Amino acid sequence: MKQSFGEIIRHWRTLRRYSQLTLSVETGLSSRHISFLETGRSQPSRGSVLTFGRVLQWPKPVMNQALLAAGFSPEFPDHDLDDVNLKPMTDAMALILENHAPYPAIIIDGNWQIIGGNPPAAHLMQFLPLGGSVSVIDALLNDDPKNPVFLNWDVIAAWTLSRLQVESARLGPDADLVRIYNKLAHDPRCAHLAQTSFSANAPYLTMQARIDSHDLSLFTMLAEFTTALDVSMSERRVELFFPADDVTRAYFEALSD
């Protein structure tokens, strides 16, 4: 069921813990007018919708939803990924993947689904417990504690839960990412996680995994288009894997020989 503009305002104001008075101060609109907008007694201008979106930190899909509910056209386009208008950006991602070899690099969407990668990443993924899925979260959930692929599962799961919690909170309770977070959080292994601080591990977190009978150690970096206005492209990220030790470096460099 589609929400009215007033319902969207009230929902996100509550989510961000703003009173009508606080929202009035931040937007420059009177609290009386905000009350009328929430009850449907008043209609917003396009500019005020955009102001609400900025103050309440709406994700691009929510901004479009709010504008449509208020009777305006969407602010952000949502092209198919093979649209010619996105070619410079898709070419840029392909270039990053190619140049990162011999080390793995993947493309993930906003729901942590793997939607692309370079040949070293394809090699890596065949050893991960994806179980026919392309979800990073499923790889964690499918890992067998008795014969694990992820040798530091607890650390990886704790960090992943932390990131999912931050990202899902930004999107709101109806986002698919909230269900993905809950799916991992309800795994019995997560109930016993004692990881409260990552600082004792090292200057950076690593993914330690048994791949092809080798114990490898990798750390990652995420790259995203912070200037993307397209809805789908703004959710795409490239995750670059780097070797954390000489054994891992030698393993991947040998693949390219």
- Asked if the model's pLDDT at residue 64 lies above 60, the reply is yes
- Asked if the model's pLDDT at residue 146 lies above 80, the reply is yes
pLDDT tens digit string along 194-224?
A: 655 555 667 888 999 999 999 999 999 999 9
CATH fold of 84-154+199-255, please?
A: Beta-Lactamase (3.30.450)
Please, which residues have CB within 8 angstroms of residue 139's CB and are 6 or more apart in sequence?
128, 129, 130, 133, 149, 150
Q: How confident is the model at residue 48 (pLDDT cuts 50, 70, 90)?
A: very high
Q: How far apart are CA 178 and CA 168, in angstroms?
A: 5
What are the structural domain ranges in the chain?
5-69, 84-154+199-255
Report helix angle 31-39 to 20-27, nearest 10: 110
User: Can you give the pLDDT at residue 35?
Assistant: 95
> Of 148, 215, 170, which is closest to residue 60 (Cα–Cα)?
170
Angle at 137 between CA 133 and CA 142, to 5 degrees: 65
Q: How confident is the model at residue 176 (pLDDT cuts 50, 70, 90)?
A: confident
User: Can you give the pLDDT at residue 198?
Assistant: 56
- Asked if the model's pLDDT at residue 76 lies above 90, the reply is yes
CATH code: domain 5-69 is: 1.10.260.40
More confident residue, 159 or 105: 105
Mean pLDDT for all residues in the chain: 91
Q: How confident is the model at residue 256 (pLDDT cuts 50, 70, 90)?
A: confident
User: Can you give the pLDDT at residue 63?
Assistant: 94
User: Can you give the pLDDT at residue 204?
Assistant: 85
User: Can you give the pLDDT at residue 126?
Assistant: 95
pLDDT tens digit string along 96-134?
A: 999 999 999 999 998 999 999 999 999 999 999 999 999
Q: What is the SS3 string spanning 66-127?
A: HHHHCCCCCCCCCCCCCCHHHHHHHHHHHHHHHHHCCCCEEEECCCCEEEEECHHHHHHHCC
Confidence (pTM): 0.85
Q: How confident is the model at residue 170 (pLDDT cuts 50, 70, 90)?
A: confident
Q: How far apart are CA 13 and CA 124, in angstroms?
A: 43
